[in-house]
Amino acid sequence: MRIESLTLIRVAMPLVRPFTTSFGSQSAREVLLACVDIGGTQGWGECVAMSEPVYNAEYVDGVEHVLVHHLLPRLMVVDDFAIEDVASILRPVLGHHMAKATIETALLDAWLRKEGRSFAEYLGATKERVRCGVSVGIAATIDELLAEVDGYRQQGYQRIKLKIQPGWDVQPVRQVRALIGPDLPLTVDANRAYDRQSMRTLAALDEFDLQMIEQPLPEDDIAGHVQLAQLVATPLCLDESICSTLDAVDAIERGACRIVNIKPGRVGGYLESKRIHDACAERAVPVWCGGMLETGIGRAANLALAALPNFTLPNDTSASARYYRRDLTAPFVLQDGHITVPQGPGIGVDVDLDMLQDAMTGRRHIERSATGR
Ligand code: SMG
Ligand code: MG
């Protein structure tokens, strides 16, 4: 394939309720979409970076800059490449996984649409629907948290994940466990908010039979996670620490985690995500698909990934209504705790162009001819 044009679209997406984590609160997403044209067929990629570099180092303006000035020019000078070549063409640019994932996903969508094949089939999906959990932000009060959790439980989510931070951990977890009973899987996600001095607090969570503790320590403290894993009975899961297959293998072999959260944006795309899935499967380490409050465009692709066989734990692939009043695609709906994997060509869903028009805040179009090729 070769790229004829790239259109970058900014969309403002208000959340149905603010989402608070240990690194801040957000009431809307500023979404960057890439629409690529390869010889008349278009494909979409959703960038998962946030407006500010607070989840990891990437942020929306930075992604746009890297795409336009560093990634697109490297792809535009190649007249015929395969989707499997994209990562190596972009390898001279260090890091910037979310930017790389955005363009690679748009290209994969376009190429698969052209071939009449779905993401699910290409990636090797073995399930028609995936297990869904829900991620619950830090609330103003424990009563508010319990009301929110109760609503999700009634909707049928298969796992509740609570965001935690120092001062919002043992008590909310205790009360939520009392509310939901012993059978519904419960997890916590600290987004790196603890340090080696707070290992005792994390060990105090053992009594609540959590499925996992996600990313308790800073992303670069693998040795700290190894120590913590020896102190707590609850399995540790890494999110921010895992940016590649090498990271995953290293963390597993060192005993830093027993579960891996795979987010395609964080690791540079769906092809690397599949490699991480395979490496974890070989080592009998279960994985699940993380979420970045994606619109239906990113969610469709995540559902296809989560349909691979070693995605055995409930995923952060919640229904559209958990995030947005109106989505950029037909809404994904929770049925019996699952969401159905799209089977159409590419990501398998169409972008709602009316909705896109209504929510658009900016647009930038780059033609191949304008780059002198
Ligand atoms: O998409 O349901 C979702 C959000 C899941 O908690 C979630 N994501 O660290 O796992 C994580 C967070 C990061 C995103 S915060 C905007
Ligand atoms: Mg996380």
Q: What is the CATH number of the domain that holds 58?
A: 3.30.390.10
Residues 109 and 125 in one domain: no
Residues 151 and 107 in one domain: no
What is the per-residue pLDDT for 369? 81
How high does pLDDT run on average in the chain? Answer: 97
Q: What is the mean pLDDT of residues 202-213?
A: 98
Using CA atoms, how far apart are residues 93 and 196, in angstroms rounded to an integer?
33
Pocket test for ligand 1, best of 30, 50, 55, 135 (most atoms within 8 A of CB): 135
**What is the domain extent for residue 292?**
121-340
Task: Provide the pairing of β-strand 160-163 with 186-189.
Answer: parallel
- For residue 370, name the pLDDT band (cuts at 50, 70, 90): confident
Indicate whether residue 21 lines ligand 1 (CB < 6 A): yes
Closest alpha carbon to 22 in 214, 164, 199, 194: 164
Using CA atoms, how far apart are residues 328 and 335, in angstroms rounded to an integer?
20
Residues 198 and 157 in one domain: yes
Q: What is the mean pLDDT of residues 246-269?
A: 98
Using CA atoms, how far apart are residues 49 and 293, in angstroms rounded to an integer?
10
What is the per-residue pLDDT for 372? 64
DSSP 4-52: SEEEEEEEEEEEEEEEEETTEEEEEEEEEEEEEEETTEEEEEEE---SS
Q: What is the mean pLDDT of residues 261-270?
A: 98
Q: Minimum-distance ligand to the CA of 27?
A: 1
Using CA atoms, how far apart are residues 227 and 210, in angstroms rounded to an integer?
19
Pocket test for ligand 1, best of 316, 320, 339 (most atoms within 8 A of CB): 316
Using CA atoms, how far apart are residues 297 and 305, in angstroms rounded to an integer?
13
Using CA atoms, how far apart are residues 8 and 361, in angstroms rounded to an integer?
11
- For residue 87, name the pLDDT band (cuts at 50, 70, 90): very high
Residue nearest to atom 9 of ligand 1 (CA): 191
Residues 157 and 263 in one domain: yes
Q: Could you say which DSSP state residue 70 is in?
A: I
Q: Indicate the number of domains in the chain.
A: 2
Q: Is 263 a catalytic residue?
A: yes
Q: Is residue 345 part of a domain?
A: no
Q: Are 202 and 232 in contact (CB under 8 A)?
A: yes
Q: Is residue 89 part of a domain?
A: yes
Residue nearest to atom 5 of ligand 1 (CA): 291
Pocket test for ligand 1, best of 47, 164, 189, 263 (most atoms within 8 A of CB): 189
Indicate whether residue 46 lines ligand 1 (CB < 6 A): no
Indicate whether residue 20 lines ligand 1 (CB < 6 A): no
Helix (H) or strand (E) holding 108: helix 97-115
Q: Are 244 and 270 in contact (CB under 8 A)?
A: no
Closest alpha carbon to 195 in 219, 218, 179: 218
Residues 105 and 194 in one domain: no
Question: pTM, whole model, 2 decimals?
Answer: 0.97
Point out the ligand 1 atom lying closest to the alpha carbon of residue 29: 16
What is the per-residue pLDDT for 373? 65
What is the per-residue pLDDT for 244? 98
Using CA atoms, how far apart are residues 305 and 40, in angstroms rounded to an integer?
26
Residues 92 and 139 in one domain: no
Using CA atoms, how far apart are residues 2 and 77, in angstroms rounded to an integer?
9
Point out the ligand 1 atom lying closest to the alpha carbon of residue 292: 1
Residue nearest to atom 13 of ligand 1 (CA): 292
Residues 169 and 300 in one domain: yes
* Bridge partners, 287 (sequence order): 260, 311
Using CA atoms, how far apart are residues 150 and 170, in angstroms rounded to an integer?
19
Indicate whether residue 315 lines ligand 1 (CB < 6 A): no
CA of 368 to the centre of ligand 1 (A): 36
The CA-to-CA distance between both ends of the chain, in Å, stands at 15
Q: Is 100 a catalytic residue?
A: no
